[in-house]
With several copies, the nearest count.
Chain A
């Protein structure tokens, strides 16, 4: 693919642009379905079948299996939808932040508090 407009390079940051969208559609569609509590239960009962129904690519399937946010983003996931996936496991945004930055949750929280000083 080719987008003529220059792509910005922001360290540690992936903009959800067309290129990511093309990669991530199936994954994001599945995560969007988790708005519905019944779908969240169906997913928990048979994760494989649920992922297959949405036609996840194999990196997407693997990232879902690993509950790994950085892998999910690399596979085209959009954080607004991924947050609904995280919600299934009662993970909040600080759990996600800790996982992505390799910190403990307490370290991650302390870092946020420090940013206020």
Chain B
């Protein structure tokens, strides 16, 4: 039976890609964030996952407003990265695991979720950069299943819905009849806002409460509506929904194996957590 070995959650801003390309990992500006991955990489060498299920939000590479899914699940044999408009270097393609994808889709539909299934799919920086942070040689040792949550077009699914989605996804992983070690990754946030007169908004206090809540009380964030969350953490800070869904895949209590929080990376409060049962 498949087993979730742990959940990694992280920020994913495009400029991480630039910093990697320019080898700035040890620059004082970037070091606090990149160093947060050192213990995660050590742990990965130990647990050796077979597959990564990566929950992220597409930023207008694979999806446009003509077909904008609330939840989407990849079911392709491979996933390519591509130019998003800024010329960040692309990364090598990722192997898929279509059999696992279909199993997860089946489980989600049975649990009354309504995913869009994607048998051909490009993955953007929100998928590729966290992978590059976990495996800097970009020689991916895992197969992958991309899972997208809409943060582009309101209405977004509520925090409560995203947590339930994560829980259903976790149950479907647990149900899979193959001997697989599964890493769940959730990418986005933490607080930031790129657009409007409030651009640059950051909310350290809320971010830290949110990070703590993932361990102590994952339902905590569900008391906030989407609008209330945006008010707290910014229009893009809402990407913390990915963290919530990823956390939801682990049933029962979890502990943090490592946790980093650093302001700023680019316009963003950068967070990293590694959780396991």
Contacts and interface: CB of A to CB of B under 8 A. Distances in A.
Q: CB–CB under 8 A between A and B in the complex? A: yes
B65 A3 contact: no
A32 B200 contact: no
A18 B98 contact: yes
Q: A interface, how many residues as a size bin?
A: 35 or more
A92 B266 contact: yes
Nearest to A74: B196
B235 interface: yes
A108 B103 contact: no
A116 B155 CA distance: 30
Contacts of B120: 25
B60 A93 contact: no
Contacts of A97: 194, 199-200, 267
B106 A18 contact: yes
Contact of B264 (A21, A34, A87, A113): A113
Given A13-B196, A115-B264, A18 B59 contact: no
Given A8-B231, A36-B83, A29 B200 contact: no
A69 interface: yes
B196 A21 contact: no
A37 B60 contact: no
Interface in B222-247: 225, 227-228, 230-231, 234-236
A17 B154 contact: yes
Contact of B85 (A14, A40, A115): A40
A73 B196 contact: yes
A21 B153 contact: yes
Interface in A69-117: 69-70, 73, 78-85, 87-88, 92-94, 96-97, 100-101, 108, 111-113, 115-116
Interface of B: 13-15, 59-61, 64-65, 75, 77, 82-87, 98-99, 101-103, 105-107, 110, 119-120, 152-155, 175-178, 193-202, 204, 225, 227-228, 230-231, 234-236, 262-264, 266-267, 269
